[in-house]
Every structure is written in structure tokens, then in C-alpha cells.
């Protein structure tokens, strides 16, 4: 990673995680919590999101090597996944699509008095396959230990942004409203779509070198 390229993983992560888009779910799942329980949920969610990002950056490559998957194939698969996610975001659907999958599970956990910080807030609402594949792809682009450390550091940045957003969730929801959250989601989706196309092009060029010669 060189020059401004070093910031691309952070941009991609912020677009994928999109904590503002998760605000309605955070409010819904923690509506019956006390202030202390809500703060604890925020802390656990943010730390869990950091762990997913850090582990993906540090050990993700070893995992795909264990399964004998080429990075080029993983790039194409990851890029496709990101593109699908971006299309959903452009339609402002992440919240709606995930709601049906997690509402019942989240409600059950709240009723049982269990923490919903890890599931469903961290996984799959904040982080999931798209986040993991993005970190693995960018981890392969690193050439020095400090670049890998920066990737892990981006996990801290994402966790900090998520902490700030969740802590201000009530005010954000009142200011933006559902329409504002949808607009924000669409903007992040557009950025993510551009990054996804770039990853797809890079992966396809590695698998089919002839494409690179034609592009050149």
C-alpha cells in the first residue's frame, strides 16, 4: 500500500460497517435496557467489531491458505460480495434486509436478559463476510509489518467511530430520521461500489492476465 492507497481500507471499512445505518436496530434492541446496560452493550459491540477486523487482518490469509484458496479467487469473490452489499445499500436496504433476519433472535436475547452486543449487533449488523474479506484482501497488499499494524489500527478507528455513533444514537435518530439514515446509507453504498469494482478488476486481471494486456 502506497500513498493515498493506504486509506482505502479505512474508507471501505467505514462504508461496510456503516454504524449510522445500524442505529435504528441499536435503539430497538436496547430500548428496555438501563443506561448502564446500554453503555455495556456499546463497549462490547465496539470491542467485538475491533476483534473481527484485527483477526481478519492478522490471520485471514493463513485461513484461506489452509483451504487452498487463491487470493485472486478470493478477491473476485470478496469484490462480488462487496458489490452485492453496495447494491443493497444503494437501495437503502441493509436495515430492512437484516431486520427480518435478526429481529426475532435479538428480541429473544433481550427477553432472556442476555447481551445482544455480539449477536446480532456486531455480527452480522456491523461486521460480517464483507468486512472479513475486505481485510484479508488488503492484508495481502501489505509489504511491511507497520502496514499490517495500520490495518489493525483501522479496527480501532472503526470501533471508536461506532462507539461515538452508538453513544449519540438517540440524537442521530432524531436529527436524521429514517430518510436521513437512508440517504447516508446510499452515499456509503456508492463509495463501496467503486471500491468493489476496483477489487474485482484486480482479481480478474490476476486470474485472466490477458485482460490486463487488453486494458493496457
pLDDT for 7-20, tens place per residue? 889 999 999 899 98
Given pLDDT bands bounded at 50, 70 and 90, which one contains residue 213?
A: low
How far apart (Å, rounded) are the C-alpha atoms in residues 9 and 11?
A: 5
pLDDT of 130 strictly over 50: yes
- pLDDT above 70 covers a percentage of the chain that reads 85
pTM of the model: 0.73
DSSP 68-104: T--HHHHHHHHHHHHHHHHHHHHTT-HHHHHHHHHHH
The pLDDT assigned to 103 comes to 47
The backbone region for 198, taken as left when phi is positive above 0, alpha when psi lies in -120 to 50, beta otherwise, is: alpha
The answer, yes or no, to whether residue 37 has pLDDT greater than 70, is yes
What pLDDT digit, counting tens, does each position of 69-94 carry? 888 888 888 888 878 878 877 886 64
Contact 153, 50 (CB under 8 A): no
How far is C-alpha 125 from the geometric centre of its chain's CA atoms? 8
- How far apart (Å, rounded) are the C-alpha atoms in residues 171 and 202? 41
Amino acid at each position: 500500500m502506497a500513498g493515498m492507497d493506504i486509506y482505502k481500507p479505512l474508507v471501505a471499512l467505514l462504508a461496510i460497517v456503516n454504524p449510522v445505518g445500524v442505529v435504528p436496530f441499536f435503539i430497538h434492541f436496547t430500548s428496555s435496557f438501563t443506561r448502564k446496560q446500554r453503555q455495556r452493550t456499546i463497549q462490547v459491540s465496539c470491542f467485538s467489531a475491533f476483534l473481527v477486523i484485527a483477526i481478519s487482518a492478522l490471520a485471514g490469509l493463513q485461513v484461506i491458505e489452509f483451504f487452498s484458496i487463491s487470493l485472486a479467487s478470493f478477491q473476485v469473490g470478496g469484490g462480488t460480495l462487496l458489490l452485492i452489499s453496495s447494491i443493497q445499500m444503494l437501495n437503502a436496504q441493509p436495515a430492512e434486509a437484516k431486520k427480518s433476519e435478526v429481529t426475532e433472535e435479538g428480541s429473544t436475547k433481550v427477553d432472556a436478559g442476555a447481551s445482544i452486543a455480539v449477536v446480532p449487533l456486531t455480527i452480522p449488523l456491523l461486521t460480517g463476510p464483507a468486512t472479513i474479506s475486505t481485510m484479508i484482501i488488503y492484508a495481502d497488499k501489505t509489504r511491511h509489518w507497520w502496514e499490517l499494524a495500520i490495518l489493525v489500527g483501522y479496527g480501532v478507528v472503526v470501533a471508536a467511530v461506532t462507539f461515538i455513533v452508538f453513544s449519540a444514537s438517540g440524537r442521530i435518530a432524531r436529527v436524521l430520521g429514517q430518510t436521513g439514515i437512508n440517504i447516508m446509507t446510499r452515499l456509503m453504498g456508492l463509495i463501496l461500489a467503486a471500491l468493489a469494482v476496483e477489487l474485482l478488476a484486480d482479481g480478474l486481471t490476476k486470474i485472466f492476465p490477458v485482460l490486463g494486456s487488453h486494458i493496457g
